[in-house]
A and B are shown apart, each in its own frame.
Chain A
Amino acid sequence: NAGVTQTPKFRVLKTGQSMTLLCAQDMNHEYMYWYRQDPGMGLRLIHYSVGEGTTAKGEVPDGYNVSRLKKQNFLLGLESAAPSQTSVYFCASNSGQGSSNEQFFGPGTRLTVL
Chain B
Amino acid sequence: GEDVEQSLFLSVREGDSSVINCTYTDSSSTYLYWYKQEPGAGLQLLTYIFSNMDMKQDQRLTVLLNKKDKHLSLRIADTQTGDSAIYFCAEEVKGFQKLVFGTGTRLLVSP
Contacts and interface: CB of A to CB of B under 8 A. Distances in A.
Interface of A: 4, 31, 33, 35, 40-45, 48, 50, 58, 90, 92, 94, 96, 100-103, 105-108
6 contacts: A42-B4, A42-B88, A43-B101, A44-B101, A45-B100, A101-B31
A90 B45 contact: no
Contact of A43 (B41, B48, B88, B97): B88
Nearest to B104: A42
A105 B44 contact: yes
B103 A103 contact: no
B98 A100 contact: no
Contact of B101 (A42, A96, A100, A106): A42
How many interface residues does chain B have, given as a range?
A: 20 to 34
A15 B65 CA distance: 45
A74 to B, nearest CB: 14
Contacts of B30: 101
Interface of B: 4, 8, 30-31, 33, 40-45, 48, 88, 92, 97-104
Nearest to A4: B42
Contacts of B99: 45, 103
B103 A40 contact: yes
A100 B97 contact: no
Contact of A100 (B41, B45, B100, B102): B45
A103 B97 CA distance: 9
Given A48-B98, A50-B97, A103-B99, 18 more contacts: A35-B101, A40-B103, A42-B102, A43-B43, A43-B88, A43-B101, A45-B98, A48-B97, A90-B42, A90-B43, A92-B43, A96-B97, A100-B33, A102-B33, A105-B43, A105-B44, A107-B41, A108-B41
